[in-house]
Chains A and B, each alone.
Chain A
């Protein structure tokens, strides 16, 4: 025990049999299971836990809960270091390591605490006024300086080694908070058989019952708590979730919650996440989040030792820690007096009670005389004394007489604010309740009710009544019949009158409104003087209510002080509203497993394994992993591999997976009519067994996508789309059908994943195919000419589709088989092609060949180009309406000087080209006004033995033969080029028909 000097010998909910050792600022301490880091530090007599944000003033615990503004620490070390962790919410574990933050060089001696002496310079609006000019200094000088001086904790510098999960839950009744109100609600709802989830941010359930000495049904509240928890655990449809904060309320009964699965151990156990982000779908919810006690603004109210009265009771009753040896209570209401009783109960010396009200109830007077405490009625605490810890206070009575008192703990009570945050997440405005002098929930979001303290009904009896009633209502609204209501349990008497005071005007010293942001009463006055009177302005000008605690203990005081300045009532000054999250949520818990490689799934083609066997190097393109090239050890480098693949294909035969293209099966008597409307060209004329190239526009007239579509039957078409737009085109077609023309008889389905498709290209391709296509199918040039498209069979009856289409410009086919046959198809083709030197080729070789032929892809169909820009204007039918027809005719889209597709090649054939370069005239300055277009695609052509490129040039087709410069200011290169036709190879297209 000697190692924990302020630990009480008995009582409390800590397990004295389990001692846990931990380190704070490098020093070792012991605590017990059931402690928080805050209570364990306090038990060890550590009162100084941090330095304040702006003035670097010494700070200790204010609270015992989620509202803690001061005791923020860096928890753990290295990659697991977590800044701004509230010591009051950290469950103690063996070997916990924590470091105080915002101090340099040490917590006890902080150089920047001289900021406190320079106080007047650091008032509200200081940053705005001081660091305004010159603007350039802000980024380079001011901001780094301020960050070093005034930052909060440091984030870890390494990747988080732990993993996080996302989880989903559905329930009839969600109960938020497991205090007396929440437990009653869960119990009543649970008894009806409803699916109930009850969450509490604490690791122990019970809420204020854990911190108070109360009686329920004539027995210790702990008995009721134990019985209730046991019954809840016995109900199979009730799920109890401790260590789970419900942080947000969203539309239609969706709640965000974070479960701290492994935060209470040093390292998560194997296969356990650190935290789990929940999305809870609840038919009904009961908010029973309790209330937060309010401090009073007076000079020196931030010294370690000044603590909320309810927090003092929590440390004494729950954690068996005496926060100080000599206490003074400063209260404006009855609830502070409970602290007098509880402190006396454990043998602490209560030196005095300062009650701002002039009338003291007789029972309080007799309590004071029983414990030997002086009573100062109608008095206030005007100032505190002490350096790094409280040593005494000055009391001022109604007549102005001052009394100095020695004490090391000052328990402050000024009434409570309902924890109504979730009720305002959907813009619900809290309303002012004059009687309890607090904001209470206003119009509630659908499906949510509020019980007990969270509704401003602060007594234990009210909590139990509300819980039982609202739990019953929620279950019944969710469709669960209920037995007759039972009377709520009875409790011991509880006095709860109050007359809050918002601030004590002192003579000197800083009186803090917002402890986390170091906002004082003077700052609020200054904001009022300078016209920042609306609460929103007050917040932004002074930073009041910002940062990790979001003003949980300061918003109302700030509002009250502003009301005092403007002579208005609090309710007329503004309200405090809240947005999610209620308390900070780690980004990891929101991301779950979706990080790094798992940020999104990677799709593999049906021939992936075959490609890997062939030694492919893969490239991520969109969602897909595709073979980029197939290096052989005889290849000198990447370019020689690509050149080899191109030459082998053009000289013999090559194969390449094209399964990633989108494939959409369209059927119906109006399928052809439908295609007429979505494509710019004609489709009704397409014969069965033929394919045609098609272009589709967006309704705004720009090109959306292209591809070939084949007619497999009178009412049956197969459309292909580009890989990247497969999903988008499918959605677009569904839109066109379901929204625009539902009367058309057409149905469509994506079959992209059902077929493995391979391009077989090159002069020997027919001979290779002959080796695997079943003999009954005639694929001779006469029987199966260019653009033929038919259903056939391969390998002895395997259904297949063969298309004589060519992206490479060679005699070429695309062969599709059911996806599961993909690998077998590749192996069969390789075997059949061995005699012809068949060569697998990848994306890069495909790209070289399509640039050689001037075929466009996504680089050219980039969402900013029109059919005209692509040189394909004559494809647009004038005999029919189609998507984008009218908008494509807009004046600006048909001007002759629009950049239009051209080819180009370097004058010096040894020079290489770069994508993204811009065209600028010879001897023109590299300026925007001289920009004449841009480069979209470049490649080295092994057939022409120099670089070639495609791009868009103003009035391009009229400028063939002209010389211009391709200027790349990003890579700092420029090449003189000659404009030419975009078709570099086989202009007449004779190879296609071979």
Chain B
């Protein structure tokens, strides 16, 4: 696979580390509940098709990227820095 890093260009998979589904949002703050946190930590969808995922360009610019990838074909639809993404792009 190759991922088009917005900073570094088209780079080989070997430069990246995979995290997974980008959609869960951390329930921040002292008011957060244990059950919401449990869902955030453990529960993930495993869809067939488009999924917004987090990848880390560890052998490159160290950017966390939101990669919209088809889990069936590995076609990559979009790559944006995670700190600039609009949440739920794949939904």
Interface set of A (CB-CB < 8 Å, partner B): 250-254, 279, 281, 426, 446, 699-700, 727, 730-731, 734-735, 737-742, 880-881, 886-887, 889-890
Contacts and interface: CB of A to CB of B under 8 A. Distances in A.
A742 B2 contact: no
B64 A887 contact: no
8 contacts: A251-B74, A734-B62, A734-B64, A737-B83, A739-B64, A739-B83, A742-B83, A881-B28
Contacts of B62: 730, 734
A880 B83 contact: no
A744 to B, nearest CB: 10
B43 interface: no
A281 B37 contact: no
B41 A700 contact: yes
Interface of B: 1-2, 12, 17, 19, 22, 26, 28-30, 32-34, 37-38, 40-41, 54, 56, 58, 62-64, 73-76, 81-84
Nearest to A891: B34
Contact of B1 (A250, A699, A887): A250
A274 B81 CA distance: 42
A738 B34 contact: no
Nearest to A730: B62
B1 A251 contact: yes
A881 B64 CA distance: 23
A740 B75 CA distance: 26
Given A700-B41, A734-B62, A739-B82, A890 B2 contact: no
The 7 closest A-B pairs by CB, nearest first: A742-B83, A886-B37, A738-B64, A252-B2, A251-B1, A251-B74, A738-B83
Given A252-B1, A887-B37, 19 more contacts: A251-B74, A252-B74, A254-B1, A254-B2, A281-B2, A281-B12, A699-B26, A699-B40, A700-B41, A731-B56, A735-B56, A738-B81, A741-B28, A881-B28, A881-B32, A886-B32, A886-B33, A887-B34, A887-B41
Nearest to B54: A739
Contacts of B54: 735, 739
Contacts of A730: 62
Nearest to A741: B28
Contacts of B1: 250-252, 254
A446 B2 CA distance: 13
A460 B12 CA distance: 38
A699 B41 contact: yes
Contacts of B75: 446
A652 B24 CA distance: 55
Given A250-B1, A880-B30, A731 B82 contact: no
A424 to B, nearest CB: 14
Given A250-B1, A251-B1, A738 B82 contact: yes
Nearest to B57: A734
B5 to A, nearest CB: 13
Nearest to B13: A251
B19 to A, nearest CB: 7
Contacts of A254: 1-2, 12
Contacts of B74: 251-252
Contacts of B76: 252
Nearest to B58: A731
A354 to B, nearest CB: 48
Contacts of A886: 32-34, 37
B34 A889 contact: yes
A886 B83 CA distance: 24
A740 B32 CA distance: 15
A767 B33 CA distance: 53
B33 to A, nearest CB: 8
A945 B52 CA distance: 59
A654 B5 CA distance: 48
Contacts of A741: 28
A426 B33 CA distance: 44
Contacts of B34: 886-887, 889-890
B63 to A, nearest CB: 7
Contacts of A252: 1-2, 74, 76
Nearest to B25: A740
A740 B58 CA distance: 18
Contact of A887 (B29, B38, B58, B82): B38
A679 to B, nearest CB: 16
Given A700-B41, A734-B62, A887-B41, A740 B26 contact: yes
B73 to A, nearest CB: 8
Greatest chain B CB density within 10 A among A727, A730, A734 is at A734
Nearest to B40: A699
Nearest to A445: B73
Nearest to B22: A739
The residue among A251, A730, A741 with the most chain B CB atoms within 10 A of its own CB is: A251
A696 B40 CA distance: 19
Contacts of B41: 699-700, 887
A612 B53 CA distance: 47
A890 B37 CA distance: 11
A175 B19 CA distance: 36
Given A881-B29, A886-B37, A735 B2 contact: no
A730 B12 CA distance: 21
Contact of B63 (A738, A880, A889): A738
Nearest to B33: A886
Contacts of B82: 738-739, 742
Contacts of A890: 34
A730 B22 CA distance: 19
Contacts of B22: 739
A253 B33 CA distance: 46
Contacts of B56: 731, 734-735
B75 to A, nearest CB: 8
A741 B34 CA distance: 20
A246 to B, nearest CB: 18
Contact of A735 (B28, B64, B73): B64
Given A700-B41, A886-B37, A731 B17 contact: yes
Nearest to A701: B41
Contacts of A731: 17, 56, 58
A254 B2 CA distance: 8
B86 to A, nearest CB: 13
Contacts of B12: 254, 279, 281
A299 to B, nearest CB: 46
A734 to B, nearest CB: 6
Contacts of A740: 26, 28
Nearest to B31: A881
A327 B12 CA distance: 54
B24 to A, nearest CB: 10
Contact of A881 (B17, B19, B30, B83): B30
A245 to B, nearest CB: 21
Nearest to A254: B2
B7 to A, nearest CB: 12
Contacts of A881: 28-30, 32
Contacts of A880: 30
A589 B79 CA distance: 33
A68 B85 CA distance: 54
A293 to B, nearest CB: 34
A279 B14 CA distance: 12
Nearest to A699: B41
Contacts of B63: 738
A889 B73 CA distance: 41
Contacts of B2: 251-254, 281
A78 to B, nearest CB: 35
